[in-house]
Copies of this chain bind each other. A is one copy, B any other.
Amino acid sequence: MSKSRTSAARAEVADIDSPGAALGGLDAQVGFVLRLAQVAVFKDLIEALRPFGLRPTDFSVLLVIEATPGLKQQAVGEALSIQRPNLVTIIDQLEGRGLVKRGAAPGDRRSYALALTPDGEKLLAQAKTAHMEHADRVTAALGDMDRQMVLEALSRIARMA
C-alpha cells in the first residue's frame, strides 16, 4: 500500500552527498516545476526587455493599450490583473517617459483614454522584436514538443480555480 498514490511518481532517494539536498519528491510535482519554469522564463524576459527600460508589466501594458487604444486605466488593470492603485504608478512612469498619453475620454470626465505616443509605438515595436526572440528561446527549450499542446495544458491549469 505504500506505493498507492494517485498519480505522482516520486523520487524516494535522499542522497545526502548530492549537489543540493534531496527535495522530498517536490521535483516530481507539477506545481513545483511550474514555479521553476515561470522563474526561468521571467528572468529571460526581464533581460530581454531591460535594454528598453521596460519591465514585463510595462511591456504588457503597452501591448494592451496598442491593441485597444482609448482604453481606460481600469480596463487595462482588469485585463492584466493589476490593481488600480498600482497601475497609476505604472502609467505615471510611462507617461513621464512620453510613451503613453492620458487623453480625454469621450463622455466621461472621470477617466482617461489611454493611447501610445509615436515614441511609445516606436519603442514598443523594438521591444516586440526582443520579446519575439525571447519567445523563440522558450519555444526552442521545448525542442520537439508540441507548443500548442503545452499552451493548452497551461491554460487548463490556469483555469483550474
Contacts and interface: CB of A to CB of B under 8 A. Distances in A.
- Copies of the protein in its oligomer: 2
Contacts of A25: 63, 67
Contact of A38 (B35, B68, B142): B35
A44 interface: yes
A1 interface: no
Given A23-B79, A25-B63, A76-B21, A145 B156 contact: yes
A14 interface: yes
Interface in A39-60: 39-45, 60
Contact of A153 (B8, B16, B43, B150): B150
A105 to B, nearest CB: 13
Interface in A102-161: 132, 134-143, 145, 147-161
